[in-house]
């Protein structure tokens, strides 16, 4: 009789542990899913920022390489076109 009670208590404790592990696993999956979405968003923002910086540096490099300056030549309203290859 005592052995049966001991086995019943052991099974109850085991079942309680399995239920608790299931709740912890669901919580972990929820947190990981949210963090994953934030990580993807941050990576996309970084990629866009890097592209923007690269474009800005290309403009500056073309500007300094060609040696033209709209303020020096009175051309404030001239639009920049990087494909002009310094035609100004």
Return the DSSP state at 40: H
In a domain, 84, yes or no: yes
What pTM was estimated for this model as a whole?
0.45
- Pick from 68, 49, 46: nearest CA to 59: 68
Summarize the confidence of residues 8-16 as an average pLDDT.
95
Q: Are residues 33 and 61 part of one domain?
A: no
In a domain, 31, yes or no: yes
Q: What is the pLDDT of residues 15-41, one digit of tens each?
A: 999 999 999 999 999 888 888 888 999
Q: Tell me which residue range forms the domain holding 28.
A: 9-39
- Pick from 52, 87, 43: nearest CA to 68: 87
Q: Are residues 87 and 57 part of one domain?
A: yes
In a domain, 45, yes or no: no
What contacts 73, CB < 8 A, 6 or more positions away?
A: 88
In a domain, 3, yes or no: no
Q: Are residues 35 and 58 part of one domain?
A: no
The pLDDT value given to residue 15: 95
Total number of domains constituting the chain: 2
């Amino acid at each position: 009789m005592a052995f049966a009670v001991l086995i019943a208590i052991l099974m109850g404790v085991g079942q309680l542990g399995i239920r608790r592990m299931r709740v912890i696993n669901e919580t972990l999956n929820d947190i990981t899913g949210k963090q994953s979405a934030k990580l993807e968003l941050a990576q996309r923002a970084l990629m866009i920022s890097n592209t923007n910086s690269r474009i800005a540096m290309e403009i500056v490099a073309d500007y300094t390489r060609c040696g033209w300056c709209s303020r020096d030549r009175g051309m404030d309203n001239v639009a920049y076109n990087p494909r002009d290859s310094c035609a100004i």
